[in-house]
Amino acid sequence: MISRLLRLIPPGTIAVGAGLGLLGLASYVHLAVAGHSLSEADYSSLSVLWSIVFTLGIGVFMPIEQEVARIVAGRHSQGLPPGPVLARGVTAAAALLAVLVLAVTAGRRPLADLLFAGDGTMVTVLIASLAAMAVAYATRGVLSGLQLFPWYGTQLGVDGGLRIVLVVLLGLAGVRSPIWFGLVLAAAPLISVVVTLSPVLRAVGHGPPVAWGTLLRGLGLLTVSSLLSQVVVNVGVINVKVIDPSDVATAGALLSALVLVRIPLFVFGSLQASLLPGLATTAAIGDRAGFDSLLRRALGIVTALGVGGAIGAVAIGPWLVSTLFDAPDVLGHGDFAWLAVATLAYLWAMVLGQALLALDRHRAQAVAWAVGVAALVAVTLVPLSVALRVELGYAGGSLVAAGAMAVLLRGATARLSLTPATPVDAVAVGPSGGTR
């Protein structure tokens, strides 16, 4: 099994995996130092900021990375430079960022009162962090499309390494403000872009302009899917503050627990780079047997990852969040069991979503995530304890999304040999940088 998987991994995946690993480690260090440095109320504010940044940042800007990478890769194969694509991508990212900034600025006071205990500076930190993610994802698209994966992995690694260094320095300095811990989310990505900007600038060049339709054709549906998938996986912490603003203990503890149970998602991020091209290739030649075989193996791998992670999380999760993050002791083994089930279902949905993309079924993927979010909302409205409502919402949303994708995929694969996908259109080239 391992040898077959290694043959699927394209050059550069190891470098990207190393960068993702360091970025993942940074998440644990960041929250661990913050958990031991901040009060429950301040850690709750940081937890909400963290969840919003990655819900909107990954949800809105990662599709730009994917589409830029896809178009850059296609042009590169024809000997055309990526400059015009980067220009369009940066413009699109700036436009989306402007919309987010206007919305957040317009709701600054209500957002501060509801989510950050009245601290308007945290709203400013939110805007700065979103701006940093917009810049990072646009440049990663060029690095990925040109297959400069060592540089791509370097950007991820510098981002993660800086987060670790900066938060450790904050901890050693005795900083007790969530603002400074939040600013790390803005500073580290921006510096990582500066460090890895030289290969992007060298490759920019000039060439035929890129029509907006080329970039925007798949971007809308990808953005919808990406944003909805991030809502499913991240909105629980935000919902705690919305349901009960005074429950600062649960918000902080839940984020710490989610970071632990979602370890398998980091591993999946490094495999995703090879999974989607492999599925798209078999789809392009109408190889139904090869497509099904690769999909089954991918589902088997993430199931093993999810079950293995669940066993560890349920067994020692409550102790770990208390020891590593100094989180309040409000979550038990049952809470971790629900979060682990939700993460396993989310992994299934991610794999099935890649299969739909490989078949050029962007709309079907978006519909499935929309149904999943609807299920999450419905379950969260059930009058139960705050923690259980958000846990069951995460589980229900993930399970419904995965189930909807399985049904839609069955219909899509039935016509596989009749309507094969075009590889350049179907593949969002490059790995996902959507790491928390």
Among 167-176, 267-276, 296-305, the minimum mean pLDDT is found in 267-276
Domain map (residue ranges) of the chain? 2-426
Inform me whether the pLDDT recorded for 434 exceeds 50: no
Residue pLDDT, tens place only, 69-83: 777 777 776 777 777
Inform me whether the pLDDT recorded for 272 exceeds 60: yes
Inform me whether the pLDDT recorded for 238 exceeds 80: yes
Average pLDDT over the chain, rounded to an integer = 85
CA neighbor of 379 nearest in space, from 393, 390, 391: 393
Over residues 353-368, the mean pLDDT reads 87
**Long-range pairs for 330-337 at CB < 8 Å and ≥24 separation?**
330/249, 330/250, 330/253, 330/387, 331/250, 331/253, 331/254, 331/257, 331/387, 335/257, 335/387, 335/388, 335/391, 336/257, 336/260, 336/261, 337/310
Among 99-103, 210-214, 408-412, the minimum mean pLDDT is found in 210-214
SS (H, E, C) the chain: CHHHHHHHCCCCHHHHHHHHHHHHHHHHHHHHHHHHHCCHHHHHHHHHHHHHHHHHHHHHHHHHHHHHHHHHHHHHCCCCCCHHHHHHHHHHHHHHHHHHHHHHHHCHHHHHHHHCCCCHHHHHHHHHHHHHHHHHHHHHHHHHHCCCHHHHHHHHHHHHHHHHHHHHHHHHCCCCCHHHHHHHHHHHHHHHHHHCHHHHHHHCCCCCCCCHHHHHHHHHHHHHHHHHHHHHHHHHHHHHHHHCCCCHHHHHHHHHHHHHHCHHHHHHHHHHHHHHHHHHHHHHCCCHHHHHHHHHHHHHHHHHHHHHHHHHHHHHHHHHHHHHHCCCCCCCHHHHHHHHHHHHHHHHHHHHHHHHHHCCCHHHHHHHHHHHHHHHHHHHCCCCCHHHHHHHHHHHHHHHHHHHHHHHHHHHHHCCCCCCCCHHHHCCCCCCCCCC
CB 144 within 8 A of CB 70: no
Q: Percent of the chain beyond pLDDT 90?
A: 44
Residue pLDDT, tens place only, 191-224: 999 999 988 888 777 667 777 776 777 788 888 9
Inform me whether the pLDDT recorded for 419 exceeds 50: no
Angle at 47 between CA 325 and CA 64, to 5 degrees: 120
Provide the 10 A C-beta neighbour count for residue 370.
Answer: 16
Which residues, 6 or more positions from 319, have their beta carbon under 8 angstroms from its beta carbon? none
| Residue 17, pLDDT score | 76
Per-residue b or e along 159-189, where b marks 16 or more CB atoms closer than 10 Å to that residue's CB: bbbbbbebbeebbeeebebbbbbbbbbbbbb
What's the pTM? 0.81
Among 28-42, 186-200, 286-300, 304-318, the minimum mean pLDDT is found in 286-300
Which of the four pLDDT bands, split at 50, 70 and 90, describes residue 6? very low
Q: Which amino acid, 153? A: G
| Residue 436, pLDDT score | 53
Which residues, 6 or more positions from 42, have their beta carbon under 8 angstroms from its beta carbon? 176, 177, 178
Residue 56 CA to residue 46 CA, distance in Å, equals 15
Tokens read off for 49: 């900021």
Residue pLDDT, tens place only, 125-179: 999 999 999 999 988 888 877 778 889 889 999 999 999 999 999 999 999 999 9
Which of the four pLDDT bands, split at 50, 70 and 90, describes residue 275? confident
